[in-house]
Amino acid sequence: MNSSGLLALAGLNALFAAAGVGLLAGLKGFASWGALGRSLGLAHMAGFALVGLLSTELLVAGLGIGVGETVGVSVGILAAGLAVARLRGLPLPRAARPSLGARGLGLDALGVVPAVLVVLLALAMLRVGFAQGLFEWDAWAFWVPKGAGIYHFGHLDKELFVSTANPSYPILVPALDALAFHFMGTVDAVTLHAQYAFLGCGFVFAAVGLLRPRVPRIVVWSFVGLPFLGSDFRYFAVAPMADLPLDYLFALGFLCLALWLVDRTPSTLVLGWVFFAAGAATKREGLMFVVAGVAAAAIVTLRESRRRWPPLAAIALATWAVNLPWRFWSQSRGIDDQSSLLFHGFASHLDRFGPSIRIVLTLVFDDGRWTIIAPLTVATVGVLLLVRLRGLAAFLLIAMMLAGGGLAWILASFTNLPLDTSDQTPLPRAVGSIILAATAVTPLMLHLAWQAAGERRGARAAAA
């Protein structure tokens, strides 16, 4: 670890945030400086997703990525977003004294307590990331070497990819590592862990930024802090691998999809697409998670299919399309992606599917790994059914079932993977997508259930 490297990574993440501010400004604007401040976590993750996607496209096109390119792309997105906001007449904060507004002392003020605790936990995770060694097999076997190769060669090199494990994996994470090395000026695999700690903290504050306008502070902060209490999140969140970044991106995209189902705001769906597309560029199962979320949304909007299905189909197709260049690049160079194993010969090992389902469920409901998030989400589905919000209950349940079934399918298909809960399989990390998506969406669902229950009580009182 070195202090100059940490400052360099802070600069890289500040550029991500700047790009994200431009994206959010162009999509919805900012009503005040306070709104901008509350959206910085969301801007950070949105900027990471968008800059990461553009970096992968530049690499596939044979172009380099570095400090200059990242500064140019980030500032360009910021400027373009502000220009679009002006053209669309969206609100932007003016150069005046920020107004914090009145602060009540009611129940919502109690949310300061869990908020402070979450901030302290986030700082502790950053501190761990600043001094973490490169211990994870996936990290030193192929993720970090790919990033180091892009940093040294300045482009994608076929020989490097075929000489490492899993050469066909998407390249957003190696591109991120290469950018981190460019900003640090060297291949510093120890300080690199801090970049992943920044993303973990960014996810938490991005979820808060999406939820806070709707959901009381005490509910939001109480939920988003739960992953910090689980052993798997604390360990994998600082590891330079693609698993947790994929989990963050899918969870945020899934939350945007849930918000769109509620308020039908097109800008929310566009933002969700940015997260989904970046998730698909992070790991192969990213596209499977996107399909799970979109399919669940399509099922629960069957009666409104004329209006709801075209935008859902658009984000699914756009997610697939922006990731096609990498598939063309890898397949044109004879790099086998092994996806055929998921479709051929599956009938011969159907006996593995049942145990695989049990393993996924065991990992999801392991309170030592992921605390009590899964039971709380199941209870929330029950509450939604009680207050007759069946569509939202079905959306949450179907998406989780499809994602979990997809992971079980992967475990059953790759017969070289043991049928257990050990770290010899990717399942302990992969179920994080389900857990973090549940973490992000459950506060929204609980608040909507509370509102629906209040409306029913009011209706009964009026009738009486």
Cα 46 from Cα 233, distance rounded (Å): 21
**Residue matched to tokens 């910090």:** 228
What's the pLDDT score for residue 101?
46
What's the pLDDT score for residue 340?
54
What's the pLDDT score for residue 53?
96
What's the pLDDT score for residue 113?
81
Three-state SS at 422: coil
Residue 172 main-chain phi, psi, to 5 deg: -60, -40
Cα 229 from Cα 124, distance rounded (Å): 12
Q: For every one of its 464 residues, what pLDDT tens digit does the chain have, with 9 covering 90 and above?
A: 578 888 999 999 999 999 999 999 999 999 889 899 999 999 999 999 999 999 999 999 988 899 999 999 999 999 999 999 999 999 998 765 545 444 444 556 666 888 888 888 888 877 776 667 777 888 988 999 999 999 999 889 888 888 888 888 999 999 999 999 999 999 999 899 999 999 999 999 999 999 988 899 889 998 988 988 888 888 888 889 999 999 999 999 999 999 999 998 999 999 999 999 999 999 989 999 999 999 999 999 999 999 999 999 999 999 999 999 999 998 888 887 666 555 555 666 788 889 999 999 999 998 888 889 999 999 999 999 999 999 999 999 999 999 999 999 888 888 888 888 887 888 888 999 999 999 999 999 999 999 888 877 777 777 76
Cα 310 from Cα 201, distance rounded (Å): 34
For residues 358 and 405, the answer to whether their CB atoms sit within 8 Å is: no
What's the pLDDT score for residue 115?
83
Taking each helix axis as running N to C, give the angle between helix 192-211 and helix 172-184, from 0 to 180 degrees, rounded to the nearest 10. Answer: 120
Residue 282 main-chain phi, psi, to 5 deg: -100, -45
Residue count of the chain, please give it: 464
Q: What b/e sequence results for 267-290 when a residue is b if at least 16 CB atoms lie within 10 Å of its CB, and e otherwise?
A: bbbbbbbbbbbbbbbbbbbbbbbb
What's the pLDDT score for residue 103?
47
Burial of 350 (0-12, 13-18, 19+ CB in 10 A): exposed
The string of DSSP codes covering 169-186 is S-SHHHHHHHHHHHHHTS
Q: What is the DSSP-derived secondary structure letter of residue 255?
A: H
- Closest to 179 measured CA to CA, from 150, 141, 145, 139: 150
For residues 335 and 167, the answer to whether their CB atoms sit within 8 Å is: yes
For residues 276 and 293, the answer to whether their CB atoms sit within 8 Å is: yes
Cα 318–Cα 320–Cα 325 angle in degrees, nearest 5: 105
